[in-house]
Amino acid sequence: MSLMRVDNFGAGPCALPLEVLEEVAEEFPEYRDTGMTVIEMSHRSADYDAIHTDAMDRARRVAAAPEDFDVLFIQGGATLQFSMIPLNLLDEDMTAGYVVAGAWGKKALADALPLGGYTAWSGESSDYTTMPEPGAVEIAEDTRYLHVTSNETIGGIRMVDLPRTEVPLVNDMSSDYLARPIDWPRHDVVYGGVQKNLAPAGMALVFIRRSAIPERPGLGTYLRYSTHADGDSLANTPPMFQIYLMGKVLAHLETRGGVEGLQTRSHDKSALVYNAIEESDGFYRSPVDPRVRSHTNVVWRLPTEELEKRFVNEATGAGMVGLKGHRSVGGIRASLYAATEIPAVERLVDFMDDFAARHRS
């Protein structure tokens, strides 16, 4: 059977490495000589335990997370973390600052507001096209943590420099997870939904400083970080397929230079697209501050919405899918996650050049 795989520029879920998918296909319906697939095994079995431990060790190794951080696998994606973070980290007399540089920071804040969250910086007045200057973030008294979003997936901007503050950071890295090094001493929590760079949807990969995990007997069992840390993310039945697949994606990433390799590839892929935008004589237009352009989600506009529709339709016809901008901002968005390779981006850029030549008035 010949494969008809498209170039998938979707914002998430997204493409996963073909080598990994083929390996998984080989291990279905029987994983090694166990007589069953991974998703049918007992999560208490030795076979599954090896998969679980391997994924956890690899995540720590690839991210270069220090020993005093726990690695947690938690269901509910990044969105459940928006609740778990303030529920666990905030006492009644504490507050938490939020950098709201886009739609995701805004959602994170919404869940923290009733528990002490406040806006430490907002980019709303500039339509979320830029990030704060490092010294521009305003920290209130009794601030337990400052929440940042390393890459705003919808607006297409990345935080190049972390805010200047003594307060520990909590960082939602969903859309550039492991595509840039992490400054661990500055962080208490680094987290992200895994469905962009690392695995199928349905799980968050959370790194949390062990000393930052409080006892919260008042919270529901699953909502406590201590449940997951004490139980090695096996307190209940974990999302085994996600963990199994993430282990394989991480192994694949390790063979390709780990975080540094992915960082370089992300930079190079996005540079190709930004270059095509810049060299289009104004046919394509990037709405974001050039200093903070995302390396994983490139957004741009065309002269009219009509042409944007046409661009997306023609691209789809040519085997390039997922290019429609988020419904809240419109335009075009190309997401260039880990499994999207340079040749796919080159095809996109060729298409962009050709489309501009045909439609430039």
Catalytic residues: 104, 172, 196
- Which H/E stretch holds residue 305? helix 305-317
Kindly state the number of chain residues that form the binding site for ligand PLP, as judged by CB under 6 A: 12
198 or 276, CB closer to ligand PLP? 198
Q: Are 163 and 99 in contact (CB under 8 A)?
A: yes
Examine residue 171 and tell whether it contacts ligand PLP (CB under 6 A).
Answer: no
Provide, rounded to whole angstroms, the least separation between the CB of residue 149 and ligand PLP.
5
Q: Are 76 and 123 in contact (CB under 8 A)?
A: no
Provide, rounded to whole angstroms, the least separation between the CB of residue 332 and ligand PLP.
17
Provide, rounded to whole angstroms, the least separation between the CB of residue 175 and ligand PLP.
4
- d(CA 176, CA 168) in angstroms, rounded, equals 20
- d(CA 103, CA 158) in angstroms, rounded, equals 13
Examine residue 95 and tell whether it contacts ligand PLP (CB under 6 A).
Answer: no
Radius of gyration of the chain from Cα atoms? Answer: 21
- d(CA 190, CA 171) in angstroms, rounded, equals 5
Binding mask 208-247 for ligand PLP (x = CB under 6 A): ----------------------------------------
- With contacts defined by CB under 6 A, name the span among 140-148, 170-178, 286-294, 352-360 that binds ligand PLP: 170-178
- With contacts defined by CB under 6 A, name the span among 73-81, 133-141, 178-186, 321-329 that binds ligand PLP: 73-81
Examine residue 296 and tell whether it contacts ligand PLP (CB under 6 A).
Answer: no
Q: Are 343 and 171 in contact (CB under 8 A)?
A: no
Examine residue 322 and tell whether it contacts ligand PLP (CB under 6 A).
Answer: no
Provide, rounded to whole angstroms, the least separation between the CB of residue 163 and ligand PLP.
17
Q: Are 209 and 189 in contact (CB under 8 A)?
A: yes
143 or 153, CB closer to ligand PLP? 153
Contacts of 64 (CB under 8 A, 6+ apart): 181, 182, 184, 259
